[in-house]
Amino acid sequence: MAKGARASSIKANHVALKTKVFGPVETARTERLSAKLLALAQAPRPSAQKDVTMDVEDAAAPAPLKSALKATKQADDMEVDKDTTQAPASSKPSSGRIEKKRSARSRSSGIVFPKYKNGKKVGTKSKKSGFFPYKPFLPGLAEYEALGSGLGAPPKAPFDKVIFMVVDALRSDFVFSDESAFTFTQSLISNGAAMPFTAHATSPTITMPRVKAITTGSIPSFLDVILNFAESDTTSSLAAQDTWLAQMKAKGSGKLVMYGDDTWLKLFPDTFDRADGTSSFFVADFTEVDNNVTRHVPEELRNNDWNTMVLHYLGMDHIGHKAGPRRLNSIPQAKEMDGIVKQMYTAIESQKHLANTLLVLCGDHGMNDAGNHGGSAPGETSPALVIMSPKLKKISAGLESPIAPGDEFQFYDTIEQSDIAPTLAGLLGFPVPKNNLGNFIHDFLPFWSSADDQLHILLSNAKQILNVVTAAFSVSLFEGEGPQDCQNPSSDIERLGCDWKLITAQLAQSRKKPGHNDPLLGDLIKWSKQAQGIMSSTASNYDMTKLYAGQAIGMLSITLSVLSVAPVLGKSWVFTGIILLYSVMMFASSYVEEEHNFWYWAASGWIAVLIFKTARNSLTTSFSCVVVLAGLRLTRRWNQTGQKFAGEPDIARTFLAEHTTLLWALVFAMYMWNCYSLTSTGFPHLPRSIAKGASQLVVVMAAAFKVAFTHEDAPELLDWTANKVAELTTGFSLVTRARGVFIGIALALAQTIGAEYMSGFRRHRFATTRTIHNLLVLFLITQSRATNIPLIMIFSAQFHLLHNLDLNLAEVTITSLLFQYMSFFAFGGTNSISSVDLSSAYNGVSGYNIVAVGILTFVSNWTGPIFWTSATTIMLLRLRASGEKNVLRNYIALQTVFAAAGLVFVMAACTELRTHLFIWTVFSPKYLYSMAWSIGQHLGMNIGLGSLLFWLGTY
pLDDT tens-place string over residues 374-383: 777 888 899 9
As a whole number of angstroms, the distance between CA 774 and CA 771 comes to: 5
**Beta carbons of 319 and 327 less than 8 angstroms apart:** yes
pLDDT above 80: residue 393 = yes
pLDDT score, position 562? 83
pLDDT above 60: residue 282 = no
Output the CA–CA distances (angstroms, integers) from residue 351 to 189, 293, 343, 493, in the order listed.
Answer: 21, 21, 12, 50
- Tell me which residue of 498, 436, 428 sits closest to 461, measured CA to CA: 436
pLDDT above 50: residue 14 = no
632-653 tens-digit pLDDT: 999 999 998 887 777 678 999 8
Is-cis flag, bond preceding 431, omega within 30?
no
Per the prediction, the chain carries an average pLDDT of 80
pLDDT score, position 560? 81
Proportion of the chain in helix, strand, coil states, percent, rounded to 5 = 60, 5, 35
- Tell me which residue of 812, 871, 862, 800 sits closest to 837, measured CA to CA: 862
896-941 tens-digit pLDDT: 999 999 999 998 888 888 777 777 778 888 988 999 999 999 999 9
Give me the sign of the Cα torsion angle 176, 179, 183, 187. Answer: positive
pLDDT grade for 105, boundaries at 50, 70 and 90: very low
pLDDT score, position 544? 73
- Tell me which residue of 49, 132, 104 sits closest to 240, measured CA to CA: 104
649-676 tens-digit pLDDT: 899 988 998 899 999 999 999 999 999 9
* Number of residues that this document lists for the chain: 955
When mean pLDDT is compared across 308-317, 417-426, 539-548, the lowest value belongs to 539-548
Helix or strand (DSSP H, E) at 360? strand 357-362
pLDDT above 80: residue 541 = no
Domain ranges of the chain: 1-42+160-223+238-445, 587-865
For residue 58, the 8-state DSSP code is S
803-838 tens-digit pLDDT: 988 899 999 999 999 999 999 999 999 988 878 887
Report percent pLDDT > 70 for the chain: 78
Output the CA–CA distances (angstroms, integers) from residue 152 to 145, 178, 424, 456, 739, in the order listed.
Answer: 10, 46, 21, 8, 68
As a whole number of angstroms, the distance between CA 595 and CA 340 comes to: 45
pLDDT grade for 28, boundaries at 50, 70 and 90: very low
pLDDT above 90: residue 786 = yes
- Residue 109's φ and ψ, nearest 5 degrees, are -140, 165
pLDDT score, position 10? 43
CATH topology for 1-42+160-223+238-445 is Alkaline Phosphatase, subunit A (3.40.720)
Q: Which alpha helices (H) appear in 913-945, and where do they start and end? A: 924-931
pLDDT above 80: residue 946 = yes
Q: What is the rounded average pLDDT of the residues 76-97?
A: 37
Q: What is the rounded average pLDDT of the residues 477-504?
A: 76
pLDDT score, position 336? 92
**Beta carbons of 287 and 315 less than 8 angstroms apart:** yes
pLDDT score, position 910? 85
pLDDT score, position 7? 44
pLDDT grade for 734, boundaries at 50, 70 and 90: confident
For residue 253, the 8-state DSSP code is S
Is residue 161 helix, strand or coil?
A: strand
Contacts of residue 955, Cβ cutoff 8 Å, sequence gap at least 6: 761, 765
Contacts of residue 240, Cβ cutoff 8 Å, sequence gap at least 6: 40, 137, 139
- Tell me which residue of 32, 368, 38, 365 sits closest to 213, measured CA to CA: 365
When mean pLDDT is compared across 95-109, 445-459, 858-872, the lowest value belongs to 95-109
Pairing of strands 161-167, 357-362: parallel
pLDDT score, position 856? 92
